[in-house]
Amino acid sequence: MNQRNNRRLVLFPLPFQGHINPMLQLAQILHDRGFSITVLHTDLNSPDPSSHPHFAFRSIGDGLSQSEASTLDLVRLITLLNARCAAPFEERLREEVSTQDAPVTCLIADALFSFPRDVAERAGVRRMVLRTGGATSLRVFAGFRLLRERGYLPIEESRLEDPVPEFPPLRVKDLPRITGEPELLERILNDMIEGIKDSSGLILNTFEDLEQPALSLLRQEYPIAVFPIGPFHKCGPSSSGSLLAEDRSCISWLDKQAPNSVVYVSFGSIASVNESEFSEIALGLADSQQPFLWVVRPGSVSGSELLENLPGCFLEALEERGKIVKWAPQHEVLAHRAVGAFWTHNGWNSTLESISEGVPMICMPCFSDQNVNARFVSDVWKVGVHLNNGLERRKIAEAIRKLLVEKEGEEVRERAAQFKEKASSCLMQGGSSFQSLDGLANHILSSES
Ligand code: UDP
């Protein structure tokens, strides 16, 4: 750990698991570089301070009612958060600026919060932005208006296979799918891009060897410093930011499985499946004949998620060679020698975590940037396969066997192993993320001169 530098950073995560994790990991990275950390957070999904005893946590009231906070309409929820949090956030930030010993050197807020831009300016605090998704998908979001003007959006079923030459190799079906009011969505994206462009710098959880083309275009398009310093979670030991309790019994179960034999199945913290998809997933796992570890998050099945209702052949397979948990310590699971494939929804964190461990992916994107990520996994990085054309037990079993046992999957397994090497070497002394982190620390300190 570097010496403490008597400088404080205020970090402000968007209150969703896929945003909290990278923000807390970034906090740990910067803490290791000598900065003191204050995390401002909403009441909604507030992080557990006891997991991070060396950070200060300060709550800001978000004023959301229970029904507002539990809506599945994320566009509306983000809009509400932006409306309700602005005033309490400003009050808190001013308190931080005036009352603490170590001066607040910089605010780092999630890119999807719009108000920190004005608030930081009024409070005289320098502001940087963390975008928790990839560089490639950020460029696609920035092109939303253009994609609409050129008729790619909203997505029409008849055009799904059409190429989108503005963002190769994407096809129309790979463009982000987000339900919610289009005007609100456009406002959120617009504010995000404007907020990034006039920030003091953009921090990304990615690395050069993975997204070099997108990063270099971002640097041309945005007049600010861009710091790809990922994969964050591999920069050093960091505590869990999980909002649900991690069931660690799956690690001792994995200990008993053969190397590279298990398919790990998890669709992140938000995506859900319906009852018939749930049953088809179960049948595909049973047909694969491979051991499986499946995360069935409470509420992730619309309809019954009762295991007893699943087909008998699945229940037999579960008893013989399967394990179901409500929430897993995913970093450890993916790093476990028994895990040979990851069936994922391709949230950016999950995608990057899988790449960092050299685990090939079965891609089942659901919404937002996940389709973009999945296309890059299968067609650009070639570290996974797409489950095309819906969920079907035979295709599921084929995909699992291809990645875990068949000769056909050898190339994908080799590419995944190569990317693991790249993800690890970029963090070593002289590596691209290592250097970028040096640049970031200097950039933050230089703000005072
Ligand atoms: N995660 C976890 N345990 C689980 C499932 C997910 O710790 O059982 C973590 C995962 O490691 C990742 C985050 O939750 O860091 C999910 O983020 P991602 O961007 O993949 O998807 P989202 O939840 O935002 O859709």
User: pLDDT tens for residues 415-438?
Assistant: 999 999 999 999 999 999 999 999
pLDDT tens digits, 51-70: 999 999 999 999 999 999 98
Q: Say how far apart CA 79 and CA 133 lie, in whole Å.
A: 19
Q: Which amino acid is at 88?
A: P
Q: Cα–chain-centroid distance for residue 193? A: 18
- The pair of three-digit structure tokens given for residue 355, joined into one six-digit string: 């790449």
Neighbours of 48 (CB within 10 A): 12
Q: How far apart are the first and last CA of the chain?
A: 24
Ligand 1 atom closest to the CA of 368, numbered from 1: 25
Cβ of 342 below 6 Å from ligand 1: no
What tokens does 134 get? Answer: 């990839």
Q: Which residues contact 173 (CB under 8 A, 6 or more apart)?
A: 155, 160, 161, 371
Maximum distance among all alpha carbons in the chain?
68
Mind listing the pLDDT tens digit for each residue in 140-170?
999 999 999 999 999 999 999 999 999 999 9
Residues 6 or more apart from 50 whose CB is under 8 A from it? none
Question: Is it the case that residue 14 has pLDDT exceeding 60?
Answer: yes
**Helix (DSSP H) and strand (DSSP E) numbers for the chain:** 17, 15
* Mean of per-residue pLDDT scores for the chain: 95
Residues 6+ positions from 401 with CB-CB distance below 8 Å: 288, 289, 290
For residue 342, report the distance from its CA to the centre of ligand 1, in Å: 12
Does ligand 1 have an atom closer than 6 angstroms to the CB of 328?
A: yes
What's the CA gap between 135 and 127, in Å, rounded? 19
Tokens in use for 49?
A: 């301070």
The count of residues in the chain is: 449
Burial state string for 14-37 with b = 16 or more CB within 10 A and e = fewer than 16: bbbbbbbbbbbbbbbbbbebebbb
Q: Which tokens hold the place of 132? A: 């928790």
Res 449 pLDDT > 80: no
Q: Contact at 8 Å (CB) between 176 and 71?
A: no
What is the ipTM metric for this complex?
Answer: 1.00
Question: What residues have CB less than 8 Å from 291, skipping those under 6 apart?
Answer: 257, 258, 261, 262, 263, 321, 322, 338
User: What is residue 6's predicted lDDT score, i.e. its pLDDT?
Assistant: 85
Q: How far is the CA of 418 from the centre of ligand 1 (A)?
A: 23
Please give the model's pTM, rounded to 2 decimal places: 0.97
**Sign of the alpha-carbon dihedral angle for 83, 85, 91, 95:** negative
With 80 as the cut, is the pLDDT of residue 273 above it?
yes
Determine the distance separating the centroid of ligand 1 and the alpha carbon of 121, expressed in angstroms.
33
- Higher model confidence: residue 206 or residue 447? 206
How far, in Å, from the CA of 345 to the mean position of ligand 1?
10
Q: How open is the CA angle 359-362-365, to the nearest 5 degrees?
A: 120
Kind of pairing, strands 292-295 and 339-344? unpaired
Cα 85 to Cα 12: distance, rounded to the nearest angstrom = 11
**C-alpha–C-alpha distance, residues 324 and 340, integer Å:** 17
37 and 8 Cβ atoms separated by less than 8 Å: yes
Ligand 1 in reach of 270 Cβ (< 6 A): yes
What is the mean predicted confidence (pLDDT) over 331-358?
98
- Ligand 1 pocket check for 368: Cβ under 6 Å: no
- In tens, the pLDDT along 212-246 reads 999 999 999 998 999 999 999 999 888 889 999 99
Q: Which atom of ligand 1 is nearest to the CA of 353?
A: 11
What pLDDT, on a 0 to 100 scale, did the predictor assign at position 447?
Answer: 66
At residue 1, the pLDDT reads 56
Q: What pLDDT digit, counting tens, does each position of 377-407 carry? A: 999 999 999 987 779 999 999 999 999 999 9
Going from the C-alpha of 240 to that of each of 155, 168, 250, 343, the distances in angstroms are 37, 36, 16, 22
The alpha carbon of 126 and the centre of ligand 1 are apart by a number of angstroms equal to: 30
What is the CA(268)–ligand 1 centre distance, in A? 4
3-state secondary structure of 17: helix
Residue in the block written with tokens 């060396």: 54
pLDDT grade for 2, boundaries at 50, 70 and 90: low
User: How far is Cα 133 from Cα 204, in angstroms, rounded to an integer?
Assistant: 7
Distance from C-alpha of 33 to C-alpha of 51, rounded to nearest angstrom: 19
Residue 336: is its pLDDT beyond 80? yes
350: enclosing H helix or E strand: helix 348-357
Q: What is the pLDDT of residues 68-122, one digit of tens each?
A: 998 989 999 999 999 999 999 999 999 999 976 788 999 999 999 999 999 999 9
Q: What is the DSSP secondary structure assignment for residue 51, as one 8-state letter?
A: G
Of 21, 112, 233, the residue with max ligand 1 atoms within 8 A of its CB, to mutate for a pocket test, comes to: 21
Q: Is the minimum distance from the CB of 347 to ligand 1 under 6 angstroms?
A: yes
The answer to whether the beta carbons of residues 161 and 172 sit under 8 Å apart is: yes
171 SS3 class? strand
Beta bridge partners of 41: 59
